[in-house]
């Protein structure tokens, strides 16, 4: 019998091992996959943009000699007391409940030492973060857990959350494992239940109502506090325009790489747009309304480095917010904990079951034995270091582009490595003056 060559086993691209594993998991458990974090897809991102740097036509500034300012004012449109930050990198909203008390304290410590703000989340304001945050933004969410006028007044700004990048149009769920006595008391819920967060605000719908809601919050706080409106990256042109129309001082725009404490994986990976595609649309809305820089724009979703900060600002943002990167700076997903991640069936860098409350780093847990491992002073120092490095990196790039302030960066300083990034960011493909979609082609 002749032994003919055989066709080697061939895996399906459509039904890959990962896809098949998820089908088997769903069939065995009867529940969709819930996880934390943001999109893990390869998406068009800031990596696909490059700065051109100075040349004969532009003078660079001398590194470490000539000043490149980094400060930012937020809330100058209507608030009696706008916020002034030393650096344009803020800490995004993350709840006590999703995060441990010591982790919230560390975020406050690090942000304050670096001269920036931190933000509450869907669980009310804790003493840890108010006490350790010089500038604290208080989120006003559909669930209104812990909402009260005293905390509104002791906040430095109010952020009305309409949506977030990981799940535009979606609510949240904090699984029972993390509803400890303290979390349950703050949210006025029975201990240990799966807590659902609504996807819509209970007492307003649409932009006309939002305008009245903003009026109410301004009246309660005597027009002192800047009012931000946070939107998920879905229809950034129209959502930004409507937020401005409703009276927002600041628009916070979160792309699909932005993290969440817990949501369906199918939601995270299939709803919303990458932040790169969102920023130019939001900036255009502000420009069309004559409000660019008058209403400030904070962008988030996958900001990792000073280069990302500089690129976001060059596209027209006033500041950025970081969440996932801040947690990594605190110690989340650290390879030093690899053995413990292995026990949870995962590996450092991939751990995203934050909702289960078993985080060995003590950050995304309410287990006293686990969060007791986390040192908020050390965590705060690490975050401060990271924020300072990001700022220095952004300054380095800005000086190379001849800018004396990070806000002087502009789209003309950028080119794109891919057609997709060129079209989304509205900057030329590298080596050409072609911006796909502009001038009719």
CA 122/CA 19 separation, integer angstroms = 32
Q: Does residue 270 interact with other proteins by CB under 8 A?
A: no
Nearest residue (CB) to other proteins, 198 versus 389: 198
Sign of the C-alpha dihedral computed for residues 332, 182, 162 and 171 taken in this order: positive
Minimum distance from residue 307 beta carbon to other proteins (Å): 41
- Of 23, 185, 198, 377, the one binding other proteins (CB under 8 A) is 198
Q: CB of residue 219 vs other proteins: minimum separation in angstroms?
A: 5
Task: Note whether 220 binds other proteins by CB under 8 A.
Answer: yes
3-state DSSP assignment of residue 178: helix
Which residue lies nearer to other proteins by CB, 181 or 222? 222
Question: Residue 89 corresponds to which tokens in the numbers above?
Answer: 């990198």
- Residue 189 interacts with other proteins (CB under 8 A): yes or no: yes
Task: Choose between 201 and 382: whose C-beta lies nearer to other proteins.
Answer: 201
Query: 143, 324, 364, 366: which one contacts other proteins (CB under 8 A)?
Result: 143
Which position among 144, 235, 293, 304 is part of the footprint of other proteins (CB under 8 A)? 144
Contact between 204 and other proteins (CB under 8 A)? yes
DSSP letter assigned to residue 134? S
Distance in angstroms (rounded) separating the CA atoms of residues 157 and 82: 8
Nearest to other proteins of 170, 302 (CB atom): 170
| Site pattern 147..186 for other proteins (x: CB under 8 A) | xxx--x--------------------x-xx----------
- Does residue number 377 form part of the binding site for other proteins (CB under 8 A)? no
Q: Judged by CB under 8 A, does residue 53 bind other proteins?
A: no
Contact 430, 419 (CB under 8 A): no
- Interface pick for other proteins out of 50, 77, 86, 223 (rule CB under 8 A): 223
Angle formed at CA 284 by CA 278 and CA 285, multiple of 5 degrees: 90
Joined together, the tokens standing for residue 136 give 């604290």
Choice between 143 and 260, CB closer to other proteins: 143
120: which residues sit within 8 A by CB, 6+ positions away? 93, 95, 96, 126, 129, 136, 137, 138, 139, 155
199 binds other proteins, rule: CB under 8 A: no
CA triple 16-32-45, angle to 5 deg: 60
| Residues in a beta bridge with 231 | 253
**Interface with other proteins includes 196 (CB under 8 A)?**
yes
How many residues lie near other proteins (CB under 8 A)? 31
| CB-neighbour burial class of residue 289 (10 A; exposed 0-12, middle 13-18, buried 19+) | middle
**Near other proteins by CB under 8 A: residue from 1, 27, 28, 31:** 31
Contacts of 14 (CB under 8 A, 6+ apart): none
Query: Crossing angle for the helix pair 236-246 and 206-220, nearest 10 degrees?
Result: 40
Out of 203, 288, 410, 412, the residue judged to bind other proteins by CB under 8 A: 203
Q: What is the Cα–Cα distance from 357 to 78, expressed in whole angstroms?
A: 40
Binding segment toward other proteins, per CB under 8 A, in 129-137, 216-224, 323-331, 338-346:
216-224
Site string for other proteins, 91-130 (x = CB under 8 A): ----------------------------------------
Smaller CB separation from other proteins, 21 or 220:
220
Largest Cα–Cα separation, the chain: 92
Alpha-carbon distance of 328 to 334, in angstroms, equals 7
Question: What is the β-pairing status of strands 250-254 and 296-300?
Answer: parallel
Q: Which residues bind other proteins (CB under 8 A)?
A: 30-31, 143-144, 147-149, 152, 173, 175-176, 188-190, 193-194, 196, 198, 202-204, 209, 212-213, 215-216, 219-223
């Amino acid at each position: 019998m002749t032994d003919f060559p055989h066709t080697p086993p061939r895996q399906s691209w459509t039904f890959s091992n990962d896809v098949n594993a998820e089908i088997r998991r769903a069939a065995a458990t009867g529940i969709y996959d819930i996880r934390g974090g943001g999109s893990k897809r390869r998406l068009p991102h800031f990596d696909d943009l490059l700065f051109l740097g100075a040349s004969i036509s532009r003078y660079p500034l001398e590194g470490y000699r000539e000043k490149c300012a980094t400060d930012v004012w937020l809330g100058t449109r209507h608030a009696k007391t706008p916020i002034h930050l030393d650096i344009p990198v803020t800490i995004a909203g993350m709840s006590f409940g999703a995060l441990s008390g010591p982790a919230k304290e560390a975020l406050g410590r690090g942000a304050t030492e670096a001269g920036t703000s931190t933000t509450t989340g869907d669980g009310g304001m804790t003493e840890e973060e108010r006490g350790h945050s010089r500038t604290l933004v208080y989120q006003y969410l559909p669930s209104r857990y812990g909402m009260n006028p005293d905390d509104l007044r002791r906040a430095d700004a109010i952020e009305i959350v309409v949506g977030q990048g990981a799940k535009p149009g979606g609510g949240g769920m904090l699984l029972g494992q993390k509803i400890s006595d303290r979390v349950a008391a703050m949210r006025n819920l029975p201990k240990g239940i799966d807590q659902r967060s609504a996807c819509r605000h209970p007492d307003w719908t649409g932009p006309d109502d939002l305008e009245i809601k903003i009026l109410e919050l301004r009246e309660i706080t005597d027009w002192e506090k800047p009012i931000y409106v946070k939107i998920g990256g879905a229809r950034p042109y129209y959502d930004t325009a409507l937020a401005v129309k409703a009276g927002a001082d600041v628009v916070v725009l979160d792309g699909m790489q932005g993290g969440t404490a817990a949501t369906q994986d199918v939601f995270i990976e299939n709803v919303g747009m990458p932040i790169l595609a969102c920023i130019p649309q939001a900036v255009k809305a502000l420009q069309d309304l004559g409000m660019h820089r008058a209403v400030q724009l904070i962008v988030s979703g996958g900001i990792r480095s000073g280069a990302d900060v500089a690129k976001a600002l060059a596209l027209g943002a006033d500041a950025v917010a970081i969440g996932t990167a801040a947690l990594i700076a605190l110690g989340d997903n650290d390879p030093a904990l690899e053995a413990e991640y292995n026990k949870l069936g995962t590996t450092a860098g991939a751990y995203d079951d934050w909702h289960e409350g078993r985080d060995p780093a003590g950050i995304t847990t309410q287990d006293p034995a686990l969060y007791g491992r986390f040192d908020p002073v050390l965590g705060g120092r690490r975050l401060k270091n990271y924020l300072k490095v990001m700022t220095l990196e952004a300054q380095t790039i800005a000086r190379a582009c001849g800018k004396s302030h990070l806000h002087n960066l502009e789209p003309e300083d950028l080119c794109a490595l891919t057609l997709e990034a060129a079209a989304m960011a509205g900057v030329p493909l590298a080596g050409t003056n072609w911006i796909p979609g502009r001038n009719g082609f």
